Each structure stands twice: as structure tokens, then as C-alpha cells.
């Protein structure tokens, strides 16, 4: 065991390139290595247990270690491991497309599969550009998105992403990305800071101003998450999406609901837009569609958007080898079976109030500025001064998050995200099977570690 442990650690350090990871942080210590999972818990190389408060990376909706879902993948692999969706179909992709169409809101009934969220976002932008080219509006190519929002890392998705630090090294990016305000009410401009709905109205109207400034004839789409993840879970203010829908209709701009995180139960519905009562033109999804038992992503659109591609010599000039992979499609079907059999949406709706109330107990800590989110998706914003909402400067934030919190939370047995892409936040997005005992466990670990963090500042 200890030999295996050392050998695996050495091989990890020598050969494995981790994503978005400062490798120097592991120069003198172990690489955290998760070896198995069961329900909402995962276990490391030494057998230590962690509560997976982030569902891996907003992925493991049904929890870990579900052999029924894994076996569905294995059976499909034995029957037909691979065939492309380029010119051909295979039964599992067809069945999954039909099932997703039956679950999606309104007229979204066409599914274009990918393997990831970034590819889903790329696909939606390319679909929009070619759609407008085909329908006599070839000048529409720009995309709007919100400040600090994360929409993926491939060049197109990165151009839509609103986080300058992760874009700068890769510039120039494809042209056309335009930023609009996010819906962080905790940091709202003074003149709308006392009224959530007025703030939402202002943030939505800023979208219209951006469209007019850019020229509506140049704008193809706007990408918005139902609850914006990056920055720490910003739910939409009341009326925000209704106003955005009106603006998009008025200016002929496509509304893309980027639901890579928010779909498949995260907010207590199959799709996040249902929770807030708006109808997008495109939904992008990934992550929870398979709960991570195999990789899959995609976008859903209406007949209206597919129509120009259905006749004559027209083709959507886009595709990826592993999109709609048979094993992933079979796994997604089995995952959705679990959603139905175990009423996971019902579980989220029944317990989300208790989850919020449990996290809100942390308000008695001086470092907790705001607890925000919906469903099973929460951000806790950390502040230096609660009364003035003063945040930490870059140096303090570095010391607090990377120097202390990330390790301390992990060591205390909780996987969550300590993030400072906006202001410093801790994010929680547990498996949808969690109940009060798990909320209590999260609260207790956070209470203890945040108390130490306050002493550490
Ligand atoms: C809203 C959103 N869009 C797109 C992506 C990119 O997904 P992927 O990492 O699967 O490429 C993410 C990833 O977290 C996301 O949160």
C-alpha cells in the first residue's frame, strides 16, 4: 500500500499535468488523489473520507459509486462501443435526444451532442453565426455575456468568458465578445443597491444599451447562466430574464441559456430556465447529464433554428468525433432513470430551504458577508468587514484562499471551492441526494475552518 502510494505520487508529479493548477504548490507535498467514491463521499489514497460538497466539479448529481449507471455504460460498450454521429445515428443517441426533447422547456426539441461544456458553447456560437448567414443576416456575429462569467476554455468559449486573467495569455481571441454587468446584488451600484428588482431592471437594460452601442445588426447571441457560477452564485433578480427575453426579441438576438452547471437538477428542475420562467432559444448542457459516469455535452435548439439546415445542400459545418458517444449516451439514459426513480428533483425542492437555512447559520461569523444561491448551488462571500462589505485585497485574498482555506477545508474533509475569480467566495454544489445530515456536516466544517481563517488573517 505505502509503496503503491509513493509510486503513484511520484508518477503523478512526473507525468500528469493538472488543469488550472499551480504545480509548484505540490512541489513539497502530496498531490491530493481521490481513488473511489460512494454516495456523496469520496475517499483518498489513504482511505480518508471527504464530503463531496462540489459534486466533483458541479457534475456528480446522483453521487458516486452507482454500479447500475456504470454497468449501463459497460453493457453499451460491449454492444457498440463507438460509432460517430457524422452521417450515421446509433440507438442510444437517438433515445437520449428524444428523452431530452421531452424534458426541455417549450419548443427546444433538437439536440446537437458534444463531449463537453466548452464544445457546447462553441457549437452554440457557431450555430448562431451560420444560422444568421443562412437567413440573410450575415453581419450578426457578436456575443454578449456577463462580467466574471465562465463559459469554457476553448478559444471561442474563452472569448465569451468574462474573466480577463484567464484570457490575456491567449489573446488575440476570436473577435466579437462583449461584456455586460452581472447580477451580483451584494455589489450593486449605489443607485440600485436597495431594490433587487430595480437592480435587475438596470442590469437587463444594460444589455439593451450594449446591443444598441454595438449595433443590433452585428449581435448574434447572448450567453447567460440561470445562476451565474463564477463570482459565487448570482441568482437572477426578479423579472431579469423576462426583460432580457423582451430585449432579445426586439433586437433579433438569440438567448442562450448556458446550463452546463444549472441543468439536471442543480436548481430543482431539469433545466434552470424553468425555475426562473424564461424560454431560451438555445440551451447548452454537459456535466450533470451523465453525473460524470462518462463525458457528454450538447445544445438543444428549436425547429426554427434548425430549419435552414434541413433543406438543399446546407450542412451545419461542425462536429466532433466523440460527440454523443454510445457509452456516454447509455450512461445518460441510466442517469436520468435514477433521477426519475429516486425523484432527485423532488429531493432538491424538498430540502433546498433547509440547505439554505443551515448555511445561513454561518452569518454569525465575522468573515461571512453573504450566503447566496438557489437549489443545491450556493456561494458564501467572504469579507474583511461585514458592515462596510469591504473585501480582501489581492495579497490578502491569495493568503486566505490559496495559503489557507483550500488546504484547510480539504484537510477537514470537505471538498468545495474557495475561489477569488471575483471577490473571495466558497462555493457548494453537492450531489442532489444530500439531506440534512450532509448540510450539517458542511456547516460544521465551514464553521470551524472559517473561524480559524479569521484568526489567521
Ligand atoms: C457555465 C459553463 N459553461 C461552460 C463550461 C465549460 O465546460 P467544460 O469544462 O465541460 O468544457 C463550464 C464549466 O464549468 C461552465 O460552468
Contacts of 21 (CB under 8 A, 6+ apart): none
Report how far ligand 1's centroid is from the alpha carbon of 289 (Å). Answer: 13
229 CA from centroid of ligand 1 (Å): 10
Report the atom number in ligand 1 closest to the C-alpha of 149: 1
Q: pLDDT tens digits, residue range 195-213?
A: 999 999 999 999 999 999 9
pLDDT digits (tens, 9 = 90+) for 399-423: 999 889 999 999 999 999 998 888 9
Q: Where are the alpha helices (DSSP H) in 260-411?
A: 272-276, 303-306, 326-341, 344-360, 394-397, 406-411
| Averaged pLDDT of the chain | 97
Expressed in angstroms and rounded, the spacing between residue 50 Cα and the centre of ligand 1 is 24
Q: Pick the atom of ligand 1 nearest to 297's CA.
A: 10
- Asked if the model's pLDDT at residue 1 lies above 90, the reply is no
State which of 57, 60, 118 you would mutate to test the pocket of ligand 1, scoring each by most atoms of that ligand within 8 A of its C-beta.
118
The answer to whether 429 and 287 are in contact (CB under 8 A) is no
Contacts from 309-313 at CB under 8 Å and sequence distance 24+? 309/131, 309/134
117 alpha carbon – ligand 1 mean position (Å): 4
Residue located nearest, by CA, to atom 13 of ligand 1: 152
The Å distance, Cα 439 to ligand 1 centre, comes to 25
Atom of ligand 1 nearest to the CA of 284: 3
60, 145, 150: residue to mutate for ligand 1 pocket, most atoms within 8 A of CB: 150
CA of 150 to the centre of ligand 1 (A): 7
Quote the pLDDT of residue 264.
98
Question: Rounded distance, CA 223 to CA 369, Å?
Answer: 28
Task: Tell me if 431 sits within 8 A of 55, measured CB to CB.
Answer: yes
Name the pLDDT band for 103 (thresholds 50, 70, 90): very high
DSSP, collapsed to helix, strand or coil, labels residue 128 as: helix
440 Cα–ligand 1 center, Å: 29
Residue nearest atom 9 of ligand 1, based on CA coordinates: 117
Q: Confidence band (pLDDT; 50, 70, 90) for 370?
A: very high
Summarised one tens digit per residue, pLDDT across range 312-341 is: 999 999 999 999 999 999 999 999 999 999
Average pLDDT over residues 252-275: 98
Q: Using the atom order of ligand 1, give the atom closest to the CA of residue 157.
A: 4
- What is the residue with the minimal CA distance to atom 7 of ligand 1? 117
- Output the nine-digit C-alpha cell for 61: 448529481
For position 422, what pLDDT does the model report? 87
Q: Which atom of ligand 1 is nearest to the CA of 286?
A: 10
Task: Describe the crossing of helices 67-79 and 326-341 by its angle, rounded to 10 degrees.
Answer: 150
CA of 386 to the centre of ligand 1 (A): 32
Task: Provide the pLDDT for residue 457.
Answer: 80
pTM score above 0.95: yes
Provide the pLDDT for residue 327: 98
Percent of the chain with pLDDT over 90: 96
First CA to last CA distance, the chain? 38
Instruction: Return the DSSP state at 323.
Output: T
Query: Mean pLDDT over residues 137-155, rounded?
Result: 98
Cell of 73: 455504460
* Ligand 1 closest atom vs CA 116: 10
Q: Which residues of 94-103 are buried (b: 16+ CB within 10 A; e: fewer)?
A: eebbebbeeb
Query: Closest residue (by CA) to atom 2 of ligand 1?
Result: 151
Cα(368)–Cα(454) distance, rounded to whole angstroms? 10
Give the per-residue SS3 of 192-245.
Answer: HCCCHHHHHHHHHHHHHHHHHHHCHHHEEEEEECCCECCCCCECCCCCHHHHHH
Residues at CB less than 6 angstroms from ligand 1: 116-118, 121, 150-152, 225, 229, 258, 260-261, 286, 297
List, for residues 49-82, the tens digit of each pLDDT value. Answer: 999 999 999 999 999 999 999 999 999 999 999 9
Q: What is residue 113's predicted lDDT score, i.e. its pLDDT?
A: 98
- Within 97-207, strands assigned E span 108-114, 142-146, 177-180
Q: What is the DSSP letter of 29?
A: S
Rounded to the nearest angstrom, the distance between the alpha carbon of 152 and the centre of ligand 1 is 5
d(CA 438, CA 436): 5
Residue 254: is it exposed, middle or buried by C-beta count within 10 angstroms (0-12/13-18/19+)?
A: buried
Q: How far is the CA of 356 from the centre of ligand 1 (A)?
A: 25
| 12-55: pLDDT as tens digits | 999 999 999 999 999 999 999 999 999 999 999 999 999 999 99
Rounded to the nearest angstrom, the gap between the alpha carbon of residue 441 and the centroid of all alpha carbons in its chain is 24
> 112: helix, coil or strand?
strand
- CB of 348 closer than 8 Å to CB of 375: yes
pLDDT of 456: 80
Amino acid at each position: 500500500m505505502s509503496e503503491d502510494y509513493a509510486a503513484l505520487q511520484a508518477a503523478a508529479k512526473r507525468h500528469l499535468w493538472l488543469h488550472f493548477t499551480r504545480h509548484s504548490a505540490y512541489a513539497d507535498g502530496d498531490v491530493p488523489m481521490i481513488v473511489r467514491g460512494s454516495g456523496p463521499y469520496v475517499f483518498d489514497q489513504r482511505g480518508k473520507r471527504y464530503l463531496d460538497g462540489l459534486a466533483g466539479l458541479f457534475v456528480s448529481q446522483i453521487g458516486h459509486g452507482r454500479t447500475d449507471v456504470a454497468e449501463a455504460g459497460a453493457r453499451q460498450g460491449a454492444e457498440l462501443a463507438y460509432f460517430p454521429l457524422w452521417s450515421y445515428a446509433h440507438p442510444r443517441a437517438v433515445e437520449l435526444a428524444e428523452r431530452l426533447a421531452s424534458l426541455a422547456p417549450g419548443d427546444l426539441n433538437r439536440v446537437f451532442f458534444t463531449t463537453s461544456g466548452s464544445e457546447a458553447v462553441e457549437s452554440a456560437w457557431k450555430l448562431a453565426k451560420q444560422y444568421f448567414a443562412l437567413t440573410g443576416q450575415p453581419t450578426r456575429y457578436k456575443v454578449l455575456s456577463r462580467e466574471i462569467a465562465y463559459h469554457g476554455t476553448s478559444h471561442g468559449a474563452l472569448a465569451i468568458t468574462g474573466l480577463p486573467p484567464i484570457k490575456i495569455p491567449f489573446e488575440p481571441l476570436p473577435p466579437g465578445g462583449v461584456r455586460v454587468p452581472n447580477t451580483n446584488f451584494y455589489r450593486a451600484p449605489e443607485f440600485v443597491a436597495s431594490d433587487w428588482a430595480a437592480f435587475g431592471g438596470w442590469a437587463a437594460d444594460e444589455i439593451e444599451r450594449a446591443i444598441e452601442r454595438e449595433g443590433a445588426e452585428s449581435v448574434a447571441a447572448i450567453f447567460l447562466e440561470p445562476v451565474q457560477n463564477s463570482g459565487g452564485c448570482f441568482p437572477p433578480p426578479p423579472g431579469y430574464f423576462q426583460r432580457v427575453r423582451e430585449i432579445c426579441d426586439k433586437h433579433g438576438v438569440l438567448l442562450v441559456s448556458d446550463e452546463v452547471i444549472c441543468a439536471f437538477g442543480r436548481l430543482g428542475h431539469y433545466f434552470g430556465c424553468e425555475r426562473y420562467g424564461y424560454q431560451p432559444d438555445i440551451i447548452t448542457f454537459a456535466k450533470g447529464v451523465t453525473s460524470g459516469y462518462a463525458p457528454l455535452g450538447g445544445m438543444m435548439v428549436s425547429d426554427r433554428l434548425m430549419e435552414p439546415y434541413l433543406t438543399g445542400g446546407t450542412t451545419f459545418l461542425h462536429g466532433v468525433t466523440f460527440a454523443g458517444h454510445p457509452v456516454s449516451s447509455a450512461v445518460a439514459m441510466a442517469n436520468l432513470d435514477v433521477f426519475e426513480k429516486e425523484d432527485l428533483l423532488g429531493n432538491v425542492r424538498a430540502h433546498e430551504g433547509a440547505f439554505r437555512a443551515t448555511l445561513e447559520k454561518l452569518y454569525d461569523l465575522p468573515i461571512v458577508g453573504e450566503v447566496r444561491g438557489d437549489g443545491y448551488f450556493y456561494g458564501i462571500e467572504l469579507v474583511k468587514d461585514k458592515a462596510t462589505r469591504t473585501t480582501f485585497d489581492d495579497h490578502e485574498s491569495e493568503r486566505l484562499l490559496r495559503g489557507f482555506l483550500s488546504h484547510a477545508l480539504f484537510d477537514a474533509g470537505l471538498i468545495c471551492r474557495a475561489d477569488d475569480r471575483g471577490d473571495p467566495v466558497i462555493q457548494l454544489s453537492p450531489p442532489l441526494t444530500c439531506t440534512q445530515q450532509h448540510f450539517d456536516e458542511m456547516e460544521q466544517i465551514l464553521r470551524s475552518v472559517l473561524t480559524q481563517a479569521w484568526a489567521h488573517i
